[in-house]
């Protein structure tokens, strides 16, 4: 049983990586088998519903990965602006390390499938909603009112997705860096507009001055 579970997990991870790089139509079961190292006969054992079932699992895994990325960035940030910069930096580094091949698995498939598959389109929307909810939750924890948190979450998502496309085309992180700077500037402005947002950390007690 552990072996089956491990093979299934590896196939989902391989599918997610291939979908980021190639999209839905250019990703075949044979590619998933080769990349995952899973037994050749295991694909229909683990995914009797075929390619769409595997893609369903890959979308769910991508949504979990996004939520984990947001949580990790928030744990290293001191305020909303630094949170956005760290989160964007993590996304950008993955793109660069892949040789500008690996974008967002969900966005890549949306462009191919959203007009044609109602079921997958609903799953794409759910995955993006999980990303949005994770961002909103962090912004609210730093004192943003819900409406502003929602607006900024959508802005961050749209900015990063667009920057991924531009940087993949340019094979350079420069478009991504410029977009990140603009997003951080916007979030910093929103911090200034909201009294009490991201309160500074308490300073250590100072020692008395020498006489």
pTM for this entry: 0.84
- 120 pLDDT exceeds 90? no
- Summarize pLDDT for 129-164 with one digit per residue, the tens: 999 999 999 999 999 999 999 999 999 999 999 999
Amino acid 196: pLDDT: 60
Helix (H, G, I), strand (E, B) or coil at 38: coil
Q: How confident is the model over 2-38, as pLDDT tens digits?
A: 444 688 999 999 999 999 999 889 999 889 999 999 8
Given the candidates 1.10.357.10, 1.10.3300.10, 3.40.47.10, 1.10.4190.10, the CATH classification of the domain at 59-193 is 1.10.357.10
Cα 62 to Cα 65: distance, rounded to the nearest angstrom: 5
pLDDT score for 51: 87
Q: Rounded to whole angstroms, how far apart are CA atoms 95 and 91?
A: 7
Q: Where are the domains of the chain?
A: 59-193
Between CA 95 and CA 103 the distance in angstroms is 6
- C-alpha span between 163 and 178 (Å, rounded): 9
């Amino acid at each position: 049983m552990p072996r089956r579970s491990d093979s299934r997990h590896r196939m989902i991870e391989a599918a997610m990586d291939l979908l980021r790089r190639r999209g839905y139509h250019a990703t075949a079961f044979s590619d998933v088998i080769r990349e995952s190292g899973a037994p050749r006969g295991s694909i229909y054992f683990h995914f009797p519903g075929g390619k769409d079932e595997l893609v369903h699992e890959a979308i769910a895994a991508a949504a979990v990965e996004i939520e984990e990325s947001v949580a990790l960035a928030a744990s290293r940030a001191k305020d909303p602006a630094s949170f956005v910069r760290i989160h964007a930096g993590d996304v950008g580094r993955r793109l660069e390390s892949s040789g500008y091949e690996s974008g967002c698995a969900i966005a890549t498939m949306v462009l191919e499938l959203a007009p044609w598959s109602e079921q997958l389109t609903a799953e794409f929307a759910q995955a993006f909603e999980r990303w949005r909810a994770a961002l909103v939750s962090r912004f609210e924890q730093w004192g943003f009112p819900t409406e502003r948190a929602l607006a900024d979450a959508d802005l961050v998502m749209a900015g990063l997705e667009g920057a991924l496309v531009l940087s993949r085309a340019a094979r350079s992180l420069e478009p991504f860096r410029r977009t990140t700077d603009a997003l951080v500037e916007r979030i910093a402005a929103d911090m200034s507009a909201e009294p009490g947002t991201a309160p500074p950390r308490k300073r250590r007690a100072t020692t008395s001055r020498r006489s």
